Amino acid sequence: MKNTGFFDGWFDSEKRIPFNCNKNPVPIHVINRNLEADRRKVFHPFYDFYPLEPLRDGMKSKAIPKIIHQVWSDKYKPLPDFCASLAETWKEKHPDWKYIYWNEEMMNSFVDLVYPGLSECYHSLLYDVQRWDAVRFLILYKMGGMYVDFDYECLKNIEPLLPEGKDCCIATEPQTHASTFHVQNLLSNALLASVPKSVFIRKIIYKIFSACTLSFEGMDKFTFVLKTTGPVMISRIYESLSPKEKKSVHLLPAKNVTPFDIDQMRQMNPGTIKEEQRNGLKEAYAIHYFTCSWV
């Protein structure tokens, strides 16, 4: 599958979407005729700040929009109470940020309406979790904002960690995780923020919808997902960036956003915090619990 020119003329009303799994791509201006009406039905709760009109070249946002995105597919089970309580910590610590909870219907409708050229590819990904991984990047590329997994707790307002002038800010995982996967920095897809049309997010989308992601098999699910839509894939893309491109991406230190690795989290007893664990929280703004509910 060839993805050359994937984003060229993506939102151009006079062109067809160039990268399309369908044999007969639909002209974007035909889709846009009914997009407003369809959008009101699907996205009514946040209609006022969902950007219908795309950002054109030269109009890229200079600041990360104050929107928190979280995704949970209710196709199999409703959002657990534990996750709902963690979501409240992000709302409480960011009272002036908009908040969007994306359920299965909203995710699918968003991709079908806003990315019709990728819709069939999106729905053809091997595992559901790959779609849930992919949609966060599609949302951020279009809308910008901050994406957070539902197994993340916010301890303090995270804005001091998001420097101005950066297209993308992304959490890093503890060095023990990086060593496991033989990368210098293991970037997390569980916490990231970006402006709309971030170059780094764009490169990630390119990779997710490449032929190898859509067709490669032969690994166990955990490894396959990490290497095609998860942290390993993102980390390798970051390592491939030029020095200039890396300047637009800010890596959030693990001590601030992922103070404990997965083994340390599993050793914690609910309601009790050891001294060494308490020390690990001194500089923390958030905690990732690594529930790995998708495995």
Q: Write the pLDDT tens digit of every residue in 111-164.
A: 999 999 899 989 989 899 999 999 999 999 999 999 999 999 999 999 999 999
**Placement of tokens 């996205």 in the chain:** 43
**Cα–Cα distance, 56 to 128 (Å, whole number):** 31
**Which of the residues in the chain have pLDDT under 50?**
1-59, 295
pLDDT for the residue 139: 97
pLDDT for the residue 269: 57
pLDDT for the residue 219: 76
Residues 6+ apart with CB under 8 A from 70: 87, 90, 99, 100, 101, 102, 147, 148, 149, 150
pLDDT for the residue 221: 85
Helix (H, G, I), strand (E, B) or coil at 142: helix
pLDDT for the residue 216: 59
Q: How many CA atoms lie within 13 A of 174 on its CB side?
A: 16
Q: How many CA atoms lie within 13 A of 18 on its CB side?
A: 12
